[in-house]
Structure 1
Amino acid sequence: MQLIVNYPEQLPDALQQSPSQFEHEAKMAMAVKLYEMKRISSGMAAALVGMERVEFLLDLHRYGVAAIDLGEDELQADLSNA
């Protein structure tokens, strides 16, 4: 499937990016937000952007999103099972 987003022609220049850099950044922002909202997995988010899952997870810090976001109960359960 394909999603088409119209944006002002001058927007990439205003952000000091090429059109392809801007488009990649926009896809990444969407994937990161959907992942952060727990709407999609890291694997699905990575596929959305066209990158490997590990690469996607390593890039999350650039967007202020933790790669591992466990609640206290989940963390305690993981530690108990370790």
Structure 2
Amino acid sequence: MALQEVTIEIPDKVLLAEKTDAESFGREVLLLAAVKLFEIGQLSSGRAAELAGMPRVEFLLSLSRFKVFPLAAELDELEGGYA
């Protein structure tokens, strides 16, 4: 799998406030991006898990931490079928 590198600048004050290092913060930002892109339907759970750098099951289990329901898209489809 080919990878692309993206660089973002994080102020030191943010890292200090979060009591973390750049590497840990970067992993958290990737996870947050993956969760949000999954939540809004931009990425499947499998692709979001790839972005977050974790297995799909682990990604799906992590969604509760962000109060994101893993089957929201399927639920919306089911509800739409009855309207």
TM range (shorter): 0.7 to 0.9
Percent of aligned pairs with the same residue? Answer: 36
RMSD: 1.7
Residue 51 of structure 1: how far off its partner (Å): 0.4
TM-score of the two chains, using structure 2 as the length reference = 0.81
1:11 pairs, out of 10, 14, 17, with 14
Any residues of structure 2 matched to 1:1-82 within 5 Å, and which? Answer: 1-69=4-72, 70-71=75-76, 74=78
Distance 1:2 1:19 in 2: 15
Q: Please list the CA deviations of residues 18-77 of structure 1 after superposition, one character each: whole Å capped at 9, or x if unmatched.
A: 222211110001000000000010100010111000000000011111111112x51697
Distance in 2 (alpha carbons) for counterparts of 1:76 and 1:40: 21
Instruction: Structure 1: state its 5+ residue gaps.
Output: 78-82
Task: Give me the whole-angstrom Cα distance separating, in 1, the residues matched to 2:55 and 2:12.
Answer: 30
Q: Which runs of 5+ in 2 are unaligned?
A: none
Letter in 2 for 1:30: A
What is the number of residues matched between the two proteins? 76
Structure 1 ranges of 4+ moved more than 3 A? none
**TM, length-normalised to structure 1:** 0.82
